[in-house]
Amino acid sequence: MQIKESAKVYDAIIVGSGAGGGMACNILANKGLKVALLEAGPFFDPKDPQTMTQLKNPWDSPRRGASVTRAFGDFDMSWGDWQVDGEPYTTKDDTKFMWWRSRMLGGRTNHWGRISLRFGPVDFKHKDVDGLGENWPITYDEVKPYYDRLDKMIGVFGTKEGLPNDPDGYFLPPPKPRLHELYYAKGAKKLGIPVIPSRLSILTKKINNDRGVCFYCSQCGRSCSAYADFSSGSCLIFPAQKSGQVDLYTNAMVRSVTTNDEGLATGVSYINKDDRKEYQLKARTVVLGASACSTARILLNSKSAQHPNGLGNSSDHVGRYLHDSTGAGRSAFVPALMDRKLYNEDGVGGMHLYTPWWGDHSKLDFPRGYHIEVWGGLGMPAYGFGFNISEMNKYIGGAVGGYGDKLRDDVKRFFGAIVGFGGRGEAIARYDNRCELDPDVVDQFGIPVLRFDYKWSDYERLQAKHMTETFDEITHAMGGIPMGDLPGPESDYGLLAPGQIIHEVGTTRMGDNSQTSVTNKYSQLHDAKNVFVVDAGVFTSQADKNCTWTIMALSMRASEYIADQMTKKNI
Amino acid sequence: MDRRDTLKTLLVGAVAGVTVGSAASCHPDKAANAVTVGAGEKFYGRTPKELERDNRIRSQKYLTNHELETIAVLCDIILPSTASATSATGAGVPAFIKFIVKDIPSHQLPMRGGLAWLDLESNKRFNKQFQFCTKARQIAIIDDIAYPDENNEKPDMAPGRKFFNLMRNLTVTGYYTSREGFKDLGYVGNRPNIWDGIPEEVLAEHDVDYDPEWIAKCVDQSKRDVIAKWDDDMNLIS
């Protein structure tokens, strides 16, 4: 099989079309650079009626939306989940890491929760506070201008709160809370736990004439056909294509970055999934936004005489310091929410309010915080609706079991009476938690796959313990009854497996020291100045925030640096 | 799934396409937010691979006719019709169960074994398979397996109780994820609208309130189509 080379030389090749790659594509194309954007999955447009799931009814699916072929159910708009056919990954020892990949234009941004939180000043310098992990080489003030522009460019609702480590932004107005959310707020406030409007990248108000405004179907996970939520394709890539500067390559699975005798990148080598042949593209700069772990994999697979340990890996740090957000959840039955009058309370996708981290670590036995997400309400029935509904009677002294009219009554009486809580917290990045190439296993394209080696520590376990105990306290304070048993040490206090929260970061972390980091503070490889990373790989540490807004702010920053350096002929 | 069921599914997919617009009553003339949803689309946004899998599963046979007939009887014991609501069979629940046990193979043995247990029990008591018994006799068996046995009075019925729970779960879920089930439940979501808070009469019934300070920060739906502008201090001014 002969490798097919293209004679064309791009200014930049961007690998991956999610939050980071999409932003790089948008910025670079609008700066007039000639860009090739490579995506390992097929083309996707949220408004294409052939692929759309938004506003479908459960009976449109023969399995009523069950999660048989898609991990989050039939209507979730992610092609690929923790398993991708023909593209395995492996784990070492008793590691339980789960790796989500969305193979489609826009990647995971098509189905994500749209929770768009800025990192705060402390999040960039947390080692200064507690001595753990590593400081970022940049400060909040250096990233703030990019967050500011991002808010206006993409749109995010929220409120000015003046909190020290949850910075405000240029917010659209938030939607009013739902009923169960008021119960949550009431319970939390009794305990002194703050509750504020959530911050989601959903348009409650027009920001330009290209995108629609939210029509409150609550289905951002299905990707919005009106482009009223943020997806990389609809908000970054399609607008960038109008410049005429973007060549889009879909089903293009990048195997490696090619380099020259000086160790600089010359382009990429990729497999076209349609004909399974290998192709090469050339560029002056390579921008990796394949996702933290996929980017690490590409770098590790890019071995050459100049980079024998993989590109950017002279420090042996590629793949290390991998960390996901922590997660644990509980649910509550709230008797006051029984026998509800029904109305359309779909609202936006996700919660209308949330709790940012409030704790004082000097009084706690774990070092980093978490935020609380709340769910519940009169959601659309799907597969699983009504399972064991009669069991709910045990909470109110009613009769369990039965059929007929009693069963219909049970279904209706308990509809909307369950509220759930999810904690999403910060883990400490550890040198030993990593992904590396599995020496024995390749995927269906012959490319060596990743092997994960990851262990939680007591920092995360004790944080999960605090989460679930707090959720039960809130439950009591809001007049509810915790459902199920409080998880104990045998299940790590309910701490979910790493990778389950789908916020993996840190594999090509940025730092000033080339011996202990992969990229510099401009997301540029220490080892090859014309290779940049624009996904969450560059995160020196995660925060008690979701990572997308920071991915995009840093991608914007790196992309402008690239354009500037190319103009100055430094690259 | 037989040909008729397939046609039915196609039809449902076809009529699901609707054109919707902004429901902002304050701006009835603004069509900026209008969106055409799934016009003419078949099925529900499947990838070619998923569609192939759906079709393969539809073409396979797992449950026998006798088993499906017994399931239909059970479905209508679990959710019979009422003055205002369709029965489970009327809502197509047996067809859903027929599909889902093929789609989720872990349901197969409990379903088949449970149905066989039911016939054995029925034969033992009435010398007839369950579906051929009179309604009264069917109910006599069902009443022994539809409730928990907290005092362990009928331990022999345990397999039946386990099976009935599965039947009840699949029937309830199949029913309330159908068009008829939405109607019975009174579910009114999954359509474009403008969320502007909890209806006042609902809020009045609950021991919670909107904080005026909070609500003042929330979206003014009469200005949703006005392009956002901010001052330099992050205040929205449009």
Count how many domains chain B has.
1
* Across A266-283, average pLDDT: 98
Burial class, B64, CB count within 10 angstroms (exposed 0-12 / middle 13-18 / buried 19+): exposed
Say whether B195 and A170 touch across the interface (CB within 8 A). Answer: no
* Model pLDDT, residue A7: 84
Query: Mind telling me how many Å the CA of B69 is from chain A's nearest CA?
Result: 19
Q: Which of A185, A342, A407 sits opposite B172 (nearest CB)?
A: A407
Residue pLDDT, tens place only, B100-142: 999 999 999 999 999 999 999 999 999 999 999 999 999 999 9
Say whether A226 and B230 touch across the interface (CB within 8 A). Answer: no
Interface probe, candidates A79, A344, A380, chain B, greatest B C-beta count within 10 A: A344
Residue B17 confidence class, pLDDT cut points 50, 70, 90: very low
Interface probe, candidates B56, B177, B193, B198, chain A, greatest A C-beta count within 10 A: B177
Residue pLDDT, tens place only, B20-71: 333 333 333 333 333 333 334 457 999 999 999 999 999 999 999 999 999 9
Q: Packing angle between helix A405-414 and helix B158-176, nearest 10 degrees? A: 60
* Residues on chain B touching A168 (C-beta within 8 angstroms): 234
Nearest to A259 by CA among A295, A319, A318, A301: A301
Residue pLDDT, tens place only, A467-490: 999 999 999 999 999 999 999 999
* Model pLDDT, residue A3: 83
* Residues on chain A touching B39 (C-beta within 8 angstroms): 49
* Model pLDDT, residue A2: 76
Query: Mind telling me how many Å the CA of B128 is from chain A's nearest CA?
Result: 23
Whole-prediction pTM value? 0.94
Say whether B99 and A75 touch across the interface (CB within 8 A). Answer: no
Q: How far does CA B164 lie from the centroid of its chain?
A: 18
* Residues on chain B touching A221 (C-beta within 8 angstroms): none
Interface probe, candidates A213, A274, A393, chain B, greatest B C-beta count within 10 A: A213
Residue A1 confidence class, pLDDT cut points 50, 70, 90: low
* Residues on chain B touching A152 (C-beta within 8 angstroms): 228, 230
* Model pLDDT, residue A27: 98
Q: Does residue B72 lie in a domain region?
A: yes
Q: Does residue B126 lie in a domain region?
A: yes
Say whether A182 and B209 touch across the interface (CB within 8 A). Answer: yes
Q: Does residue B221 lie in a domain region?
A: no
Residue B6 scores a pLDDT above 70:
no
Say whether B235 and A160 touch across the interface (CB within 8 A). Answer: yes
* Residues on chain B touching A187 (C-beta within 8 angstroms): none
* Across A109-135, average pLDDT: 98
Q: Does residue B150 lie in a domain region?
A: yes
Say whether A216 and B214 touch across the interface (CB within 8 A). Answer: no
Residue B4 scores a pLDDT above 80:
no
Say whether A381 and B177 touch across the interface (CB within 8 A). Answer: yes
Say whether B82 and A405 touch across the interface (CB within 8 A). Answer: yes
Interface probe, candidates B11, B58, B78, B185, chain A, greatest A C-beta count within 10 A: B185
Say whether B142 and A403 touch across the interface (CB within 8 A). Answer: yes
Q: Does residue B15 lie in a domain region?
A: no
What sign results for the dihedral spanned by CA atoms A187, A193, A197, A198?
A: negative
* Residues on chain A touching B230 (C-beta within 8 angstroms): 152, 170
Q: Are B145 and B161 within 8 A, CB to CB? A: yes
Q: How far apart are CA A184 and CA A421, in angstroms?
A: 9
* Residues on chain B touching A77 (C-beta within 8 angstroms): 45
* Model pLDDT, residue B43: 73
Give the start-end residues of each E strand in chain B.
Answer: 18-20, 35-37
For B94-109, b/e burial (b = at least 16 CB within 10 A) is bbbbbbbbbbeeebee
Q: How far apart are CA A485 and CA A490, in angstroms?
A: 12
- Indicate the SS3 state at residue B159: helix
Q: How many residues does chain A have?
A: 571
Residue A334 scores a pLDDT above 80:
yes
Q: How far apart are CA A479 and CA A488, in angstroms?
A: 24
Range of the domain at B158: 61-188
Fold annotation for A1-47+73-115+230-319+442-451+505-571: FAD/NAD(P)-binding domain (3.50.50)
Say whether B173 and A381 touch across the interface (CB within 8 A). Answer: yes
Query: Mind telling me how many Å the CA of B127 is from chain A's nearest CA?
Result: 25
Phi, psi at A201, each rounded to 5°: -85, 75
Q: What ipTM does this complex have?
A: 0.96
Q: Does residue B90 lie in a domain region?
A: yes
Amino acid letter, residue B53: R
* Across A291-301, average pLDDT: 98
Q: How far does CA B81 lie from the centroid of its chain?
A: 16
Q: Does residue B4 lie in a domain region?
A: no
Q: Which of B13, B142, B224 sits opposite A206 (nearest CB)?
A: B224
* Across A137-144, average pLDDT: 98
* Model pLDDT, residue B13: 29
Q: Which of A225, A383, A385 sits opposite B35 (nearest CB)?
A: A225
Q: Which of A69, A204, A402 sits opposite B53 (nearest CB)?
A: A69
* Across B215-228, average pLDDT: 98
Say whether A176 and B198 touch across the interface (CB within 8 A). Answer: yes
Domain parsing of chain A, residue ranges: 1-47+73-115+230-319+442-451+505-571
Q: How far apart are CA A174 and CA B146, in angstroms?
A: 46
Q: How many residues does chain B have?
A: 238
